Chains A and B, each alone.
Chain A
Amino acid sequence: MLDGHLLLGWLSFTIIVYLLSAPGPTTAYFGLTGNEPLSILPLNSLPEETMGRAHYKLCDRLKLEKKQRRMCRRDPGMADTLRESIIMSALECQHQFRFERWNCTLEGRHRGNILKRGFKETAFLYAISSAGLTHALAKACSAGRMERCTCDEAPDLENRKAWQWGGCGDNFKYANKFVKEFLGKRSNKDLRARVDMHNTNVGMRVIKAGVETTCKCHGVSGSCTVRTCWRQLLPFHEIGKLLKQRYETSFKVGSSTNEATGEGEISTGRSQQQQQQQQQQSLPGLNDQIPRTMDLLHIEDSPSFCKASKYSSGTAGRKCYKDKNCDAICCGRGHNTQSREVTGPCQCQVRWCCYVECKQCTQREEVYTCKG
């Protein structure tokens, strides 16, 4: 079933690509996979002006592609949502990789270089960024920040009629449709572009698989003769965790021809004929197993990220946790131990919001940092 969908997807891709001759595979996607530096985004909220064309400016600041910019401008709330999705994915990526050698540094140069390759980390970036976008969009819809959400039929009056007659679909459906259009429709000639596309789709699929359906009975005297269900997304933390697991079991796919030509054929190490058949459906891996549609794919092995390189600034000076990850992070170079006194809040009494009562305690803390 899923494979069938995928097959159709690929076919339509090819057709659209031939028709539109879309920008080449090196064009960045969006968010963590876009080529704009993330530092331009202030983390706190922008002035929210829904009047006029203020949101046009915001859309322009995001450095989107032509089509993406058009989609962004269509809704005054979109730019803000896009921005939030970037922040969300970035924070989640850093959270998930806080104990790893690659700590999801999003500094422009390193990230850009990773994106140009086909590492596991690249796969994760693509997946988390599409997942974040889907999640943020669905959330923005339910917060009422968007103008055109669930009932996204063309003319306005029709929408209202549709809503009065039979309600609309749920936010998640809209978000999924939007993200597919926003990130999709790209050349799939090149192996790397296809892997990237696949990983982008994995992000959306993980969100989809995590949708929970909850129901409420409200018939006569609250009986279950009438029951209404709704769908809910998992918290983004959970999504991040699931994607991290996918990252760890990422699947390697190989290429038999010169990558520079950009026309790589996928090699499985198995018979060519079989590969021809499978090629349209999924990207077969090196091993005998065939990656499922939910697996992340990578093309090449990741660098060690130990020393400063094109891809990261290395682990020298990184804080680590003794007996936990110091050996792994410091790449066997050992670590420095620094002992210092830290005065900080402790034994805090927290109320649900906005008020914390803490004592000030002074503690001795050992800080471990990797040797250079």
Chain B
Amino acid sequence: MAGAIIENMSTKKLVIVGVTLLLFQALAFMVGGLIAPSPTTSVNYMATKCVDASKHREDTKWFMPWGPNLCDKIRSFDEAMAKRIEANNIVFAVHIPMQNMEMSPWFQFMLVILQFDIAFKMHNQIEEGAVVTVDVGLAYRDDMFSEWKEMVHSVEQRKLHCNLSLPKTYENEGRYYDCDHLPFMELGSVAHKYYLLNIRLPVNERKKVNVGIGEIKDIRLISIHQNGGFTKVWFAMKTFLTPSILIIMIWYWRRITLMTRPPVLLEKVIFALGISMTFINMPVEWFSVGFNWTWMLLFGDIRQGIFYSMLLSFWIIFCGEHLMDQTERNRFSVYWKQVGPIVFGSFCLFIFDMCERGVQLTNPFYSIWASDVGTELAMSFIIVAGICACLYFLFLCFMVFQVFRNISGKRTSLPAMSKARRLHYEGLIFRFKFLMLVTLLCAAMTVIFFIISQVNEGHWHWGDHTVQVSSAFFTGIYGMWNLYVFAIMFLYAPSHKRYGDEQSSGQCITGDAGANSGEDIQLTTTITHVDGPTEIYKMSGKEAQE
């Protein structure tokens, strides 16, 4: 019987394919778990308080927390108070990374989180809705001795979310507020070796700038970047996966073009899925090592978004094309109701991402969460996307339910059918159930491993070996979806068994289909040409029933 390869494959071959894929899957997990280090590293920094002695502010002056040109340090603000130093002359300096280390383009990105240590004082409490205004400059250099070059300078506002878990009494003076960490900076590429942050908290009584923000004792920064080792393993994986998916894609498309009929919708969608997977796989990140491309982070997000929406659309269309309810589909426009939410939802997320990471291309200190309007806007985008996702899953569940209902309906009538028709329906049911099973398995794996990697503290100790759970999660899941796409393209490619027969029977149906006013055209279009005769049986059967 013709149809997809999966129907015509012997069980033995199918098992062999399955086992091979599983081996690759295990390899993907092992690469992440055993070779790669943990995906990201966080480093804690405590800002050094420097004194800017100059009367007029020079933008070219940078303050180093340590090293040969270190600044005038003060230990606490009591000292500053005694020396009559003004707030505007205090510079919080943080050098990234620590002494003796250097950053590298392999780190891919760097985000910095800001945390204030604010002590409680009866007469200097944090006011309701207090906003901190930070005047921040970022500079870089590539060796220890050259001058610092300014990268960005910006004045940012951040809302303080602090609460004191103790009663506000004199006894609790000096205790620290519990403050939420604030997003501070996000760099899309780490092209330089050394970075220097100079932060000021200017006070302006008239304009109410930095008034009522409590007694700030210290500023702490946490920088997060991807580990170089993880990046290397990741790139290696991408470089290996790209040709594999590309080859199977070419093979798949050749098979389709070899057929006499034009490709049906499902085949096109599978091909599109392959394209989006290749798009994600393409190791363009290699360039980020040589070039200072800050948009790589955003680009990665977009690529992932395209793949996700393609995968979701594929599921819907696959279900739809296996409904077996004798309605003509095979057109993308039929699915607008189901695909609409996907497109709209991902569009919302795209806008959100553009607002956050897009703006960060020009100002790395920008954060959409910093302002009230921004927060509301971001929240609304996310909520709309969430609603779209819910809508989509309702549609999908409903469709899957319909398919199963039709399958059980067909089951009862299967024995009564002619052999050809029975085989066709059995093929349809098998194909559907197989994909259903594999998809559920993959989704369940993703969820389970996600939970494991979240619950665990990143690594397991196994005797002498350390297994990096979260790295294994990333490489394993990434490998899994690649294998999934690979398997679909391989198993759902049209089979060319009994290719010669197809020609004749194909001609046979075209005539029939025309005669039958296309009622059952869906079968021919989705599946095979050989089903021609079955239509006639079916029609006659129907007539007989009537």
A residues near B, CB below 8 A? Answer: 44-45, 48, 50, 139, 141-151, 156, 159-160, 163-168, 170-171, 214, 216, 218, 220-222, 224-230, 232, 235, 237-238, 347-356
Query: How far apart are the CA atoms of A230 and B38 in the complex, in Å?
Result: 13
Query: How far apart are the CA atoms of A224 and B455 in the complex, in Å?
Result: 13
Q: Are A226 and B81 also in contact (CB < 8 A) when A160-B102, A214-B181, A355-B86 are? A: no
Query: B104 to A164, Cβ gap below 8 A?
Result: yes
Interface centre among A149, A218, A220, A235 (most CB of B within 10 A): A220
Query: A166 to B124, Cβ gap below 8 A?
Result: no
Query: How far apart are the CA atoms of A139 and B70 in the complex, in Å?
Result: 18
Query: A350 to B121, Cβ gap below 8 A?
Result: yes
B454 contacts partner chain A, Cβ-Cβ < 8 Å: yes
B512 contacts partner chain A, Cβ-Cβ < 8 Å: no
Query: B216 to A353, Cβ gap below 8 A?
Result: yes
Q: Are A149 and B213 also in contact (CB < 8 A) when A221-B353, A226-B40 are? A: no
What is the chain A residue whose CB lies nearest that of B180? A214
Contact of A143 among B46, B84, B450 (CB under 8 A): B46
B224 — which chain A residues lie within 8 A by C-beta? 216, 218, 228
Query: A353 to B90, Cβ gap below 8 A?
Result: yes
B454 — which chain A residues lie within 8 A by C-beta? 224, 227
Query: A230 to B44, Cβ gap below 8 A?
Result: yes
Can you offer 22 A-B residue contacts whose CB atoms are under 8 A? A45-B73, A142-B46, A144-B98, A145-B66, A147-B99, A159-B100, A160-B100, A166-B38, A166-B228, A167-B43, A220-B301, A226-B40, A228-B42, A228-B224, A230-B44, A235-B175, A350-B121, A351-B211, A352-B213, A352-B216, A354-B90, A355-B86
B48 contacts partner chain A, Cβ-Cβ < 8 Å: yes
Instruction: Label chain B's interface by main secondary structure.
Output: mixed
What is the chain A residue whose CB lies nearest that of B352? A221
Query: How far apart are the CA atoms of A50 and B175 in the complex, in Å?
Result: 34
Interface positions, chain B 33-50, Cβ under 8 Å from A, are: 37-48
A168 — which chain B residues lie within 8 A by C-beta? 41, 43
What are the nearest 3 A-B pairs in CB distance?
Answer: A166-B37, A167-B41, A165-B229
Count B-side interface residues using an 8 Å CB cutoff: 75
CB distance from A172 to the nearest CB of B (A): 9
Query: A352 to B356, Cβ gap below 8 A?
Result: no
B 73-84 to A, binary, CB cutoff 8 A, 1 in contact else 0:
101010111001
B246 contacts partner chain A, Cβ-Cβ < 8 Å: no
Contact of A144 among B48, B203, B228 (CB under 8 A): B48
A226 — which chain B residues lie within 8 A by C-beta? 39-40
Query: A235 to B117, Cβ gap below 8 A?
Result: yes
B340 contacts partner chain A, Cβ-Cβ < 8 Å: no
Query: B99 to A146, Cβ gap below 8 A?
Result: yes
Query: B44 to A220, Cβ gap below 8 A?
Result: no
A237 — which chain B residues lie within 8 A by C-beta? 174-176
Q: Are A354 and B181 also in contact (CB < 8 A) when A167-B227, A221-B349, A221-B353 are? A: no
CB distance from B280 to the nearest CB of A (A): 11
Q: Are A216 and B113 also in contact (CB < 8 A) when A147-B99, A352-B216 are? A: yes
What is the chain A residue whose CB lies nearest that of B300? A220
CB distance from A151 to the nearest CB of B (A): 7
